[in-house]
Each structure stands twice: as C-alpha cells, then as structure tokens.
C-alpha cells in the first residue's frame, strides 16, 4: 500500500488523542542571536565569493588526482601527464577553458521527484563512488566532482550525504534510509503511533520554541523536521545541523567531497499577487558560504550563517541571527510543494482520518493548537537579507522572501542546472534527471529544455542547445545518456543521465511517501545501473571521453566512436 501527499489512506482505525507536551525552556531548533561580525555580510552577485573560490581551488588538488586515477583505470590513452594537468584555472577566462590540458572541473546535479529522486539519485552517486564495496569502471568519478547540486528530492539526497560528513550511500541506506522510509513519519498513523511519540513530541517542541522566540512558523517547519529524521543522523533529527555548519565538517574542511548547492524558487505572491512561480521566477541557491540569487532583481548574496538577520540596505539592523539556516528548513524549502495550493490550509491531525491530506497534518504541526495556517505560512519564510538593498530592486521592499520548491511552477525546471550557468570555471555538468514528466513518472527531456529556454531568455551563454521533448522522445534520448555541447567550445558539456527502469520500476510516483526496505534497496540498485548505463560495455570509456572532450589533451582513439554515439551536438 502506498500513501500520497494529497490523500492519505490509513490502515489503523483507533482514534488517538495526541498529547502535546509542554514546551521545554529552550530548543536547539530556534534561531540564536549573536553579535554581528565586522565583515560585510551582503554583496552584489559579481562572481563567486572568495571563500568558495578558495575552497574550490583546494578541492582541485584532490579532484585532479582522482580524475587522473579514474581515467588511467579506463584507458591509458587519456593525456593526464601534461605539465598543466594540476594548474588551477579558476581565475582564467572561460573562453580559455580546456585549451591547455588542465583537469576539467565537474559538477553533478540531482533532480527533484520526492523519494524516487532521492533513491534513484543515490544509486547514481553509489555507482560513481570509489569507496563502495562493489566497483565498476565508472567507480571513482564521484571523487573527481567539485560540485553537487540538489533540488527538492535531490536536496534530500545531497543533505543526507553532506550533512552527515559524506558517508557512502551503502552506509546511509542501511543505517538510516531503509527504516526511515518504511516507517515513514509522513504517514499520520505512524507519526502518532506509540513508537514515534517521542519524535512527535520533539517536533512540536522544536517548532513551538521557534515561534516563542518571535519567528513565524510555516508548513516548511514540520515538513523539514519530519524529513530530517530520515536524512540526518544528528540527535533529534539533526536539529543542530545548519547549512553554514557544513563548512566546519571534517570532510568539508579536508576538501574530501563536492561543494553542495541547494536551490529554491521565489514566489511573488506578496510582490504582484502571483503565487505560482512563473518562467522568469527568481532562482535562489543555498550553500555553506552564501545564500542568494544571480538573477536580475535580486543580484546579491548574503553570508549563509547570518540568514535570519534583519538587514536594511545590506547592513544588519540590530543584532545578528544565526541558526536560521537549519539544514532541514533548507531542504524543506527546496521541496516545498505545498505552496502550490496558494491558500490558507486547515489543520487536521488525526490518525483515524481516511481523507486528510499531508498538508493538513503539517498545518496542524506548524501551528499547534491553532485552526490551521494562513496563506503566508505556505512558504519557506526567510527574513529578506536584501531588504532596501539597491541592486535587489525586485525584492527590496519585501520583509520576507517567500520560497518554494525549486522545480515547481510555470516552465518546470526539475534539475538545479542554473547555478552552473553562473560559474564559469565549471567545464562539465552531469545532469541526473529523475523528474516525472510522463504518465509513468519518467523524464522526457522537457525540464532540461525549459532550462535551456530560460537561460536563453536570461542571456546565459554557458547552457548548450537542448532539443525539445518531442525530439528527445523521438530519438530515445529519454532512455539513454546523451552529451550536449560536445562541439561548442564556449558552453558547458552536459552529460544527461535519465532515470530508466533497468531492474526495477523506478518510475515511482513523486507522491509516494513510504517505501518498503526491499523497494529502497531495489530503487538504489537500479540507480547504480542508471549511473553505469545498464552495464553497457562502452559506457565507462565514453563517459570519460565526454568529460575530456574539450580539455585540450590527446584522447584515446576509441573516443571518436563514443562521440558519434553519445554527442547530440
């Protein structure tokens, strides 16, 4: 039996009265006041921060080595001995990219699509991770990634990896996910069961503590909290974990894994009355060092650690706030599909209900004891760091930024590609597409095409040309990996890897909120095959050829056949 976001069918019929525990004096979920640092906290979006570019330069020392090892294991014909292989090229003009035989900079994106996307995307990471027990020729590529971006379900995957200090997928699967997804807290009968009562009490307590300190709660608070118990290993659902806190984790400070980026969209309900994000909606990004948007109308970043602080014209008003960037609240914001109702949501939290929606359960938890949530509370609510800031003309009058799922709205873009159209130093982007475009919940190319259209409209030239979904389907590109931008020196090379059902029906509905352990296992195993193109013999070499195509060094002779087979343009 499966449960859905909108209509939750319940097995149990016993009417349960849920005791709301008394609020403890303090809770680690509430934001914390702190003196403001001397450094400037808000800046215009004129390039990546020096913190990020320094980190990436250090990471390059690891990725260039890992990439060399991976390539050599595939074919000795890849030229990695050039004196330039380890030359950091972040400060070069991107028009020079690859012309001197440097190791390319590679990013991975994990799309949205609920638990389907988390698990399928996890399989792809597992396929690429050289630490796993079972290796293939594609194993070791994860160690060569500089960036990993996640959106919605992809942000759940990314947060679970990075927030737990970069363990393997096998570890997360057996230690955390299999049980969490089988005993899903999103199912009301489970949430209010005797076994889960301590968690239920903690969540209520955590949210009440935030409200008691004067912050407005939203549906994203209980949503992010309940998800986090299945994603973060820290005590009380990773309540101490913040996006900025990642920058202090040992594997981050040792440059041992990719730099994480989570995306979300702005809603303009309180700007011009448009609730659903339009094609030109502002794309925001959260990462350990900064939060903000490159888009015209915002064009600014703030230091992530100080999110929650009130600003005027880029300067803090009064004391600073920290811990607002709670990691569960970030991943809940990135996956906030509830805003699509565009109205207040009544509260109902009863395990016996047969037709109560998940949104109604969450509305109950967001405002314990109240009648539901107001229209304002359907968003991820972020005190606007760009209030009164000159370059941020579109949002400067707003007290709060209203954020929703990164892949919803008009012109759906299910993959977090946007951040890489603004990071010139990235050469190759592996796009793992687990969106549900078809009736069977598989991708058909339309989301990446929408990003291409939006990039064109915004004048972003790093996006390679992408064909329409009709062409994708007609050429079967929705069922196999494809390279875009092989022949255009000035764009990213995009390596699109779609969800395909090799050994399991991986087109599970986005709304499926409960997976048996064997389903979690089967989804991840199928995902491993997605990353390894079903075990197709030429794939490891061809993947390597695609990554190295524009790097300027000599290539094995086998690459020509690969380009003929995998390069769309």
Ligand X SMILES: *[C@@H]1O[C@H](CO)[C@@H](O)[C@H](O)[C@H]1NC(C)=O
List of residues contacting ligand X (CB under 6 A): 131, 133-134, 165-167, 251, 256, 268, 278, 280-282, 297, 348, 350, 353, 355-356, 394, 437, 444, 446, 469-470, 473, 501, 503-505, 516, 518-519, 522
CA atoms within 13 A on the CB side of 321: 22
Q: Which of 482, 465, 469, 410 is nearest to 443 (CA)?
A: 469
The Cα angle at residue 327 between residues 326 and 331, in degrees rounded to 5? 125
Which tokens is 268 given? Answer: 């303009």
**What is d(CA 326, CA 215) in angstroms, rounded to the nearest whole number?**
14
Bridge partner residues of 400 (DSSP): 383
**Minimum distance from residue 516 beta carbon to ligand X (Å):** 4
Nearer to ligand X, 118 or 282 (CB): 282
Nearer to ligand X, 13 or 133 (CB): 133
Nearer to ligand X, 92 or 480 (CB): 480
Task: Please answer whether residues 449 and 415 qualify as being in contact, where contact means their C-beta atoms are separated by less than 8 angstroms.
Answer: no
Task: Please answer whether residues 365 and 202 qualify as being in contact, where contact means their C-beta atoms are separated by less than 8 angstroms.
Answer: no
**Minimum distance from residue 241 beta carbon to ligand X (Å):** 14
**Minimum distance from residue 16 beta carbon to ligand X (Å):** 12
Nearer to ligand X, 98 or 414 (CB): 414
CB neighbourhood size of 503 (10 A) = 12
The Cα angle at residue 115 between residues 246 and 282, in degrees rounded to 5? 60
**Minimum distance from residue 179 beta carbon to ligand X (Å):** 13
**Minimum distance from residue 208 beta carbon to ligand X (Å):** 20
Which tokens is 270 given? Answer: 């309180």
The helix/strand count (H/E) of the chain reads as 18, 18
Task: Please answer whether residues 544 and 70 qualify as being in contact, where contact means their C-beta atoms are separated by less than 8 angstroms.
Answer: yes
Q: Residue 567, SS3?
A: strand
Count of all residues that appear for the chain in the document: 569
**Minimum distance from residue 307 beta carbon to ligand X (Å):** 20
Nearer to ligand X, 288 or 553 (CB): 288
Task: Please answer whether residues 435 and 447 qualify as being in contact, where contact means their C-beta atoms are separated by less than 8 angstroms.
Answer: yes
CA atoms within 13 A on the CB side of 430: 28
**Minimum distance from residue 91 beta carbon to ligand X (Å):** 27
Nearer to ligand X, 99 or 274 (CB): 274
Nearer to ligand X, 49 or 174 (CB): 174
Which tokens is 170 given? Answer: 């096998």
Nearer to ligand X, 284 or 483 (CB): 284
Nearer to ligand X, 278 or 343 (CB): 278
- For every residue of 23-70, DSSP letters joined together read PPS--TTS-EEEPPPSS--EEE-SS--HHHHHHHHHHHHHHHHHHHHH
**Minimum distance from residue 33 beta carbon to ligand X (Å):** 31
Phi-psi region of 187 (alpha: psi -120 to 50; beta: other; left: phi over 0): beta
**What is d(CA 227, CA 66) in angstroms, rounded to the nearest whole number?**
33
Q: What is the DSSP letter of 12?
A: -
**Minimum distance from residue 280 beta carbon to ligand X (Å):** 4
Nearer to ligand X, 21 or 167 (CB): 167
**What is d(CA 53, CA 47) in angstroms, rounded to the nearest whole number?**
9
Backbone φ and ψ of 103, nearest 5°: -60, 130
Nearer to ligand X, 17 or 95 (CB): 17
Distances from the Cα of 31 to the Cα of 98, 162, 416, angstroms: 45, 21, 28
**Minimum distance from residue 72 beta carbon to ligand X (Å):** 19
Q: Which of 70, 220, 240 is nearest to 155 (CA)?
A: 220
**Minimum distance from residue 557 beta carbon to ligand X (Å):** 31
**Minimum distance from residue 233 beta carbon to ligand X (Å):** 9
Nearer to ligand X, 41 or 513 (CB): 513
**What is d(CA 468, CA 447) in angstroms, rounded to the nearest whole number?**
10
């Amino acid at each position: 039996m499966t449960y859905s976001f909108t209509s939750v069918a319940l097995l149990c019929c016993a009417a349960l009265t849920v005791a709301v525990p008394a609020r403890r004096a303090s809770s680690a979920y509430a934001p914390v006041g702190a003196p403001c640092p001397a450094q400037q906290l808000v800046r215009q979006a004129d390039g990546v921060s020096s913190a990020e570019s320094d980190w990436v330069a250090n990471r390059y020392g690891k990725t260039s080595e890992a990439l060399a090892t991976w390539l050599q294991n595939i074919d000795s014909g890849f030229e990695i001995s050039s004196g330039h292989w380890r030359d950091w090229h972040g400060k070069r003009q991107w028009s020079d990219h690859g012309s001197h035989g440097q190791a390319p900079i590679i990013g991975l994106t994990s799309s949205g699509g609920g638990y389907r996307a988390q698990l399928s995307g996890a399989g792809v990471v597992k396929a690429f991770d050289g630490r796993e027990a079972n290796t293939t020729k594609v194993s070791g590529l994860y160690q060569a990634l500089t960036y990993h971006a996640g959106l919605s379900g992809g942000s759940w995957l990314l947060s679970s990896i990075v927030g737990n200090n970069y363990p393997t997928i096998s570890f997360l699967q057996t230690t955390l996910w299999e049980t969490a997804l089988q005993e899903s807290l999103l199912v009301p009968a489970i949430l209010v069961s005797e076994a889960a009562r301590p968690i239920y009490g903690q969540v209520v307590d955590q949210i009440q503590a935030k409200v008691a300190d004067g912050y407005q709660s939203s549906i994203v608070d209980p949503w992010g909290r309940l998800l986090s118990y299945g994603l973060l290993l820290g005590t009380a659902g990773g309540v101490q974990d913040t996006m900025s806190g990642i920058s202090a984790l040992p594997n981050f400070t040792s440059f041992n894994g990719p730099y994480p980026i989570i995306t979300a969209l702005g809603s303009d309900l309180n700007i011009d009355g448009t609730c659903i994000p339009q094609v030109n909606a502002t794309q925001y990004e959260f990462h350990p060092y900064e939060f903000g948007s490159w888009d015209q109308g915002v064009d600014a970043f703030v230091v992530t650690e100080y999110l929650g602080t009130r600003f005027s014209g880029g300067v803090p008003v009064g004391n600073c706030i920290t811990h607002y960037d709670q990691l569960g609240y970030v991943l809940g914001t990135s996956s906030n599909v509830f805003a699509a109702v565009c109205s207040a949501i009544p509260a109902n939290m009863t395990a016996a209900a047969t037709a109560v929606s998940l949104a109604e359960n969450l509305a109950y938890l967001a405002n314990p004891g109240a009648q539901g949530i107001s229209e304002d509370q359907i968003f991820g609510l972020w005190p606007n760091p760009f209030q009164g800031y000159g370059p941020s003309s579109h949002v400067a009058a707003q007290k709060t930024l209203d954020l929703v799922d990164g892949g919803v709205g008009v012109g759906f873009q299910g993959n977090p590609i946007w951040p890489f159209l603004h990071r010139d130093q990235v050469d190759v982007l592996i796009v793992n597409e687990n969106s549900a475009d078809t009736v069977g919940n598989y991708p058909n190319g339309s989301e990446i095409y929408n990003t291409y259209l939006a990039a064109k409209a915004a004048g972003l030239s790093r996006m390679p040309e992408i064909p329409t979904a009709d062409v994708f389907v007609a050429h079967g590109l929705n069922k196999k990996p494809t390279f875009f931008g092989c022949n255009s020196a000035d764009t990213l090379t995009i390596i699109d890897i779609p969800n395909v059902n090799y050994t399991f029906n991986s087109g599970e509905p986005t709304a499926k909120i409960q997976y048996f352990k064997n389903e979690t296992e089967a989804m991840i195993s199928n995902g491993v095959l997605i990353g390894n193109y079903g075990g197709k013999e030429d794939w490891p070499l061809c993947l390597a050829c695609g990554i190295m195509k524009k790097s300027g060094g000599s290539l094995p002779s086998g690459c020509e056949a690969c380009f003929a087979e995998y390069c769309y343009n």
